[in-house]
Amino acid sequence: MFKNTQSSYGLVAIALHWLMAVMVLGLFGLGLYMVELTYYDSWYRGSMDLHKSVGITLAALLIFRFAWRALGTQPKPVAGSDKLINAIAHSAHLVIYVLLLGIVISGYLISTADGRSIEVFTLFNIPAIELSVENQADIAGKVHYWAACSLIGLVILHALGALKHHFIDKDKTLIRMIKPLKDD
Ligand code: HEM
pLDDT in tens, 37-77: 999 999 999 999 999 999 999 999 999 999 999 999 999 99
Q: Whose CA is nearest to atom 31 of ligand 1?
A: 159
Contacts of 140 (CB under 8 A, 6+ apart): 106, 107, 109, 110, 113
- Closest-CA residue, ligand 1 atom 17, reads 93
Give this prediction's pTM: 0.96
- Ligand 1: which of 5, 17, 65 to mutate, judged by most atoms within 8 Å of the beta carbon? 17
Cβ of 101 less than 6 Å from ligand 1: no
Q: Whose CA is nearest to atom 27 of ligand 1?
A: 159
Domain assignments of the chain as residue spans, ordered by start: 11-177
Contacts with 130 (C-beta within 8 Å, 6 or more apart), sequence order: 115
> Residues 6 or more apart from 128 whose CB is under 8 A from it?
112, 114, 115, 116, 117, 118
Using an 8 Å Cβ cutoff, are 92 and 99 in contact? no
Residue 85: CB within 6 Å of ligand 1?
A: no
Name which CATH class applies to 11-177.
Answer: mainly alpha
